A and B are shown apart, each in its own frame.
Chain A
Amino acid sequence: MNTLITILFLVFAVFILVAAIMTVTVKNIVHAALWLISSFFGVGALYLLMEAEFLGVAQVLIYVGAVSILILFAIMLTRDLEGSQNRQLTPRWWIALLVPAALFGLLIVPTVMTHAWQLPPPPAGQPPSISGAQQIGTAFMREYLLPFEVAAILLLVAMIGAIVVAFEEREQRRRVLTLAEQVRLRRQRQQQVATLPEPAVSAVQPSEATGGET
């Protein structure tokens, strides 16, 4: 069984790495997002391989189900999708390389130096479940209560911020007319134009009309 797990691990690892590399190298930005999603999926599979079912499922739920959908939405709401003529490298690409490399080194060097690689074999019988939903819940509510609460408040702030950004004051709120109302309004105007000697002044500036609430 152990060799099987190793083989599966290698398959997933190669898959994740290929997907990640494709994410940063493909020219089409939607393809990049799709590669990123498959990379997320591979990470979820790795969690499952470690029998961390909750983490694996949460990874799929949050990253594949929510984050990637947000990314796709954001991409499709931006212009210039055909990125094939865009440059891939800016003149300062080496800074972009340096910062992640330094951060990665900061993470990996202490780990490699100090980690106890030769773990004692787990006690027979009940395998130590490090990542069940219950353990995670207990950890959140006891040891990591402060980070948990801070993260919750951050998310709340982000949500309120989104509402503030999208909110329109009541005085500035405009109603979008239905088709029937538009037709009626146009008829009224035509009648006004027909009856009045001088052209009637439009109730609305044309510039205002373009920025209506949809």
Chain B
Amino acid sequence: MTDILRSWIGSALPDWLIVLIAYLIVTTIVLFYAVGNFILMVWAERRIVARMQDRLGPNRVGPAGLLQPIADAVKMFTKEDIVPRNADRWVHLLAPVVSLAPVAMMLAVIPWGRGWEPIDLNVALLYIVAVSAVSGVGLMMAGWGSNNKFALLGAMRAVAQLVSYEIPAVTALLTVVVLAGGMSLLNLPHLQAGVPIMGATILCNDPAGCSPLLYTTITSFPGSPNEPVQALDLGLGWWVFTPVGLLGFVVFFIAALAEGERTPFDIPEADSEIVAGYMTEYSGMKFATFYIAQYILNFALAALAATAFLGGWQGPGVAALANMGGPWVHAAAALSAFYLLAKIWILFFVMIWLRGAFPRLRVDQLMDFAWKLLLPLALVNILSASLMVSITQWTGAQWSGVVNLDGFASWQRQLIAVIVTAIINIAATYWILSINQRPAEQEWDEELVVAP
């Protein structure tokens, strides 16, 4: 974007202004993209849940009810803005902003398509984790500023849930950091090229005979000084197809459900218990801001899960189009953006599906689930990820003589790594699940039962 603007108006304006304008344009595009998806998501969720519950859902406004979100938006704008008399006026006002802003900031580092990245931050994964933690402050402000018991209870629940589920989520993302050898999100889709399970390890033996439609030059093996190689690339070397990626994806996705307050974990706003949680005292556009923040958080988390484990914009045909050069590169970018969007929507559909299928957890079940199941699994997964990297990447010198895998071809090493990590992960999952399913011991003394 900056380069395009420079070529157009480079002579007329100082450079810093051009950079500023370019970023403003990019930000606007990304925000419109997210909000457009938000509108469709609200509609899709209502329709799909209605379908699952044997209802009709909104179907009057526009074709199949598609304009319902717009009608809702008009209603939200024109509603009276009510502030409780004893509320802390400024905190109450700022809370929706503080919870929406970090969520919007998360969108900045996600690569939305091949070559379509708003910014390249080399600590992007950490940035997303940090920024999503900030929205907890917004929820706390909402709960406290409303001066309402239900709001405060909801905020406490929301923040406790956010803080405790951050740990498995971050630990699951650490496997990605280990696999990628860095925290940049930009690199992740490039690293997930190739074919399922084997990744980009099936190399071309005869450089002249390999069609550029099937083989691409892979330069970026994670953290290694390897020369560029020609590898079979169908755009399907997603990490979710390896044992490490699969376990990481499952743990991360469940933790993301909890962070986004999706249904099995919608304890903070449990309507049947505490009205609407921290949103109880909000109406009109302030309520809508919370609503937008929640959906965009889900959107961003789905995009992050897709980028980290499902290959991001990687998909069949992207590399082939990009290799054809010329205007086809733009076609490749469009196709890749479509792939990412499709993955996000599939993940979002799974979220809706879970909402239609599962009841709400209790708070103690929530905590047990995070600490006794997800966290141990994620920790084991880090071990597997390090083994995976060391088996596929390390030279004999790095192993310091323990094993020497230098003689093997890269696909053989990948196969060994997949088998080893599969054994570890399956055994660990089975073991941890069996521990958790053991009937709990009697943990209390019957004589000391608390009477009403």
Tell me if A83 is interfacial: C-beta within 8 Å of chain B.
Answer: no
Tell me if A204 is interfacial: C-beta within 8 Å of chain B.
Answer: yes
Q: For B137, list chain A residues within 8 Å (CB).
A: 34, 37, 64, 68-69, 72
Q: For A90, list chain B residues within 8 Å (CB).
A: none
Tell me if A109 is interfacial: C-beta within 8 Å of chain B.
Answer: no
Interface-side segment among B65-73, B125-133, B298-306, B402-410? B125-133
For A69, the closest partner residue in chain B by CB is: B136
B158-182 interface with A by 8 A CB criterion: 159, 163
Tell me if B185 is interfacial: C-beta within 8 Å of chain A.
Answer: no
Q: For B88, list chain A residues within 8 Å (CB).
A: 28, 30-31
Inter-chain CA distance A213–B364, complex, in Å, is 13
Check B136 against A65 for contact (C-beta < 8 Å): yes
Check B126 against A57 for contact (C-beta < 8 Å): yes
Check A204 against B450 for contact (C-beta < 8 Å): yes
Min distance, Cβ B153 to any Cβ of chain A, angstroms: 11
Min distance, Cβ A127 to any Cβ of chain B, angstroms: 14
Tell me if B347 is interfacial: C-beta within 8 Å of chain A.
Answer: no
Q: For B35, list chain A residues within 8 Å (CB).
A: none
For B133, the closest partner residue in chain A by CB is: A65
Q: Report the count of interface residues on B (CB-CB < 8 A).
A: 34
Interface-side segment among B201-209, B392-400, B439-447? B439-447
Interface of A is mostly: helix
Check A31 against B159 for contact (C-beta < 8 Å): no
Q: For A132, list chain B residues within 8 Å (CB).
A: 122
Q: For B152, list chain A residues within 8 Å (CB).
A: 76
Q: For A34, list chain B residues within 8 Å (CB).
A: 91, 137, 141
Check A64 against B133 for contact (C-beta < 8 Å): yes
Q: For A133, list chain B residues within 8 Å (CB).
A: 122-123, 126, 183
Q: For B140, list chain A residues within 8 Å (CB).
A: 69, 72
Q: Report the count of interface residues on A (CB-CB < 8 A).
A: 42
Q: For B15, list chain A residues within 8 Å (CB).
A: 1
Tell me if A138 is interfacial: C-beta within 8 Å of chain B.
Answer: no
A4-B16, A61-B129 known; A69 vs B159 contact (CB < 8 Å): yes
Check A66 against B451 for contact (C-beta < 8 Å): no
Inter-chain CA distance A23–B131, complex, in Å, is 22
For A186, the closest partner residue in chain B by CB is: B452
Tell me if A176 is interfacial: C-beta within 8 Å of chain B.
Answer: yes
Inter-chain CA distance A65–B445, complex, in Å, is 39
Pick the contact of A203 from B122, B126, B156, B451 — CB < 8 Å?
B451
Tell me if B449 is interfacial: C-beta within 8 Å of chain A.
Answer: yes
Q: For B123, list chain A residues within 8 Å (CB).
A: 53-54, 57, 133
Residues of A in contact with B (beta carbons under 8 Å apart):
1, 4, 28, 30-31, 34, 37, 41, 53-54, 57-58, 60-61, 64-66, 68-69, 72-73, 76, 132-133, 170-177, 182, 185-186, 202-204, 208-209, 212-213
Please provide the 9 A-B residue pairs with the shortest distance between their CB atoms, ordered closest to farther: A65-B133, A61-B130, A212-B450, A175-B444, A182-B452, A204-B451, A60-B130, A173-B444, A174-B448
